[in-house]
Structure 1
């Protein structure tokens, strides 16, 4: 039998409740002593505080028998309750704040994440991936084990959880069932393979993009279920060779990396069958003359890819277009191509 885990109590809400409890005890004690002794509000609060703190300055002067019973009840009920309230409030301001700084406390924004990416590892590669995701406005959650890296990432405002990506509970807490994809940037290929298998078992529809450090690991990751396995050493070597032999091509690819700084954007959008452009040729569709967009390639629903498609190529529902356009036009393009709610 599987039991559902209840959501943890919000620390902010919990500490407010304890503030109210402490205030209520002080208010009841102050009001009671004032009614029984006729003391001023300040003196009544003073006697209440020294009674609850067990300082022992003595009972208020002129305390009648009824007032003594009230003080007895205040001592029996109030001391323990007030002590617990003060302890919980102190715990919030000291322990919870320290955990928050260290990155060990659960981020309450996690429960609101939907269709997000989970990024595993905040090393050199992981930090760069996170920076790009943030710049592109893509929701993501980062998972990291090291305290220092977690604290540094939280200072940037990122949603970060501390934990081992290989553990099912950590992935479930990261919202794996609601996630769009998983990016693995761990330096150990065996960890990336294991994490891929675990993630795919929890969410078979999850898209997994993994880092690989050698060709053999690339094959293993693909067999484990990763959609893409990228060997960074090969990619860097290819980039260096390209810059040496074909500098113009290298400059163009570098422009792709900085395109957002130039107000341009590379993106992909899938043509919905009910889109106004479905059934039209590229020349007939308003992509070029209305949105000044360039279609770099078309990935057909059956899997084939058409690079630099001609004007007489017909757009069909399910076609995925690789677009290059101005950033402020990209959302309009998505609205034109996709069904309501996005691609």
Structure 2
């Protein structure tokens, strides 16, 4: 399995194959993203083999283990270990080994969000907090929740959300939203544009131009989204 991992590039490392780690890994694989799992529980090997996942058995908070998982060639890592202290150690070590890649960390309590961010995590997720908020929104805003569930349903081809990066040499680079044909010809709705500095513009005006490095958040059919992705490639 090490030989297969050595051939990977721009993959993601998922540390911890519990309930959340397994669902996350399967979702990424469905999106054709290569994944390597690091799991310390040897009993999980049967499940990992059955799921057809590339994996290593051992401690994720170990430099040699992360190097075996291809951390220097990876696009990012998910710190989903059992304790917050372990995740902080993992984030710190991962940041040292690859200063440029994307780090997502799980926090069991809000008190650990800032320490994880200070350690180097780009995004800190608290599943319990998200779950509670989701239930509250289901009570207070059921129609909004239904809309979002429809939009994020991967089986739907008629209605999806997606983010698309404007690449160097893209046909629509430096073209305004009004002149791009995104709305008129592709029937897509541009929800927001995030520039390369991370600043977000919601509901951009018609004369807003797409700039190389921008990330466009769009809503529409899978077919039209694919068409726009092609136009935004270099």
TM-score band (shorter)? over 0.9
Q: Which has the larger radius of gyration?
A: 1
1:193 counterpart = 2:104: no
Give the structure with the higher percent strand. Answer: 2
- Residue matched to 2:211: 316
- Residue matched to 1:242: 137
On the 8 A contact 2:152/2:160 being kept in 1, the answer is no
Partner of residue 254 from structure 1, selected from 125, 130, 149: 149
Aligned residues: 233
Structure 2: gaps (5+ residues): none
- Residue matched to 1:337: 232
Q: Where in structure 2 are the equivalents of 1:263-274 lying within 5 Å?
A: 263=157, 264-274=159-169
Judged with a 3 Å threshold, the aligned counterparts in structure 2 of structure 1 residues 109 and 328 are, in CA distance, closer, same or farther, namely farther
Query: How far 1:313 moved relative to its partner?
Result: 1.8
CA RMSD of aligned residues (A): 1.7
Judged with a 3 Å threshold, the aligned counterparts in structure 2 of structure 1 residues 185 and 317 are, in CA distance, closer, same or farther, namely same
Query: How far 1:306 moved relative to its partner?
Result: 1.1
Q: Where in structure 2 are the equivalents of 1:127-206 lying within 5 Å?
A: 127-206=22-101
Structure 1: how far apart are the matches of 2:184 and 2:84?
47
**In the TM superposition, what whole-angstrom CA distance separates every residue of 1:185-224 from its partner, at most 9, and x where no partner exists?**
2231111110001111000001001111111210011001
Query: How far 1:158 moved relative to its partner?
Result: 1.2
Judged with a 3 Å threshold, the aligned counterparts in structure 2 of structure 1 residues 161 and 325 are, in CA distance, closer, same or farther, namely farther
Give me the TM-score of the superposition, normalised by structure 1. Answer: 0.64
On the 8 A contact 1:218/1:229 being kept in 2, the answer is yes
On the 8 A contact 2:12/2:36 being kept in 1, the answer is yes
Structure 2: how far apart are the matches of 1:150 and 1:330?
38
**SS of the residue 1:317 aligns to:** coil
Query: How far 1:249 moved relative to its partner?
Result: 1.0
1:126 counterpart = 2:26: no
Give the structure with the higher percent helix. Answer: 1
On the 8 A contact 1:269/1:338 being kept in 2, the answer is no
Structure 1: how far apart are the matches of 2:229 and 2:156?
20
1:305 counterpart = 2:200: yes
- Residue matched to 1:292: 187
**In the TM superposition, what whole-angstrom CA distance separates every residue of 1:97-121 from its partner, at most 9, and x where no partner exists?**
xxxxxxxxx3432122110010111
Structure 1: gaps (5+ residues): 1-105
Structure 2: how far apart are the matches of 1:151 and 1:294?
45
Judged with a 3 Å threshold, the aligned counterparts in structure 2 of structure 1 residues 275 and 136 are, in CA distance, closer, same or farther, namely same
**SS of the residue 1:261 aligns to:** coil
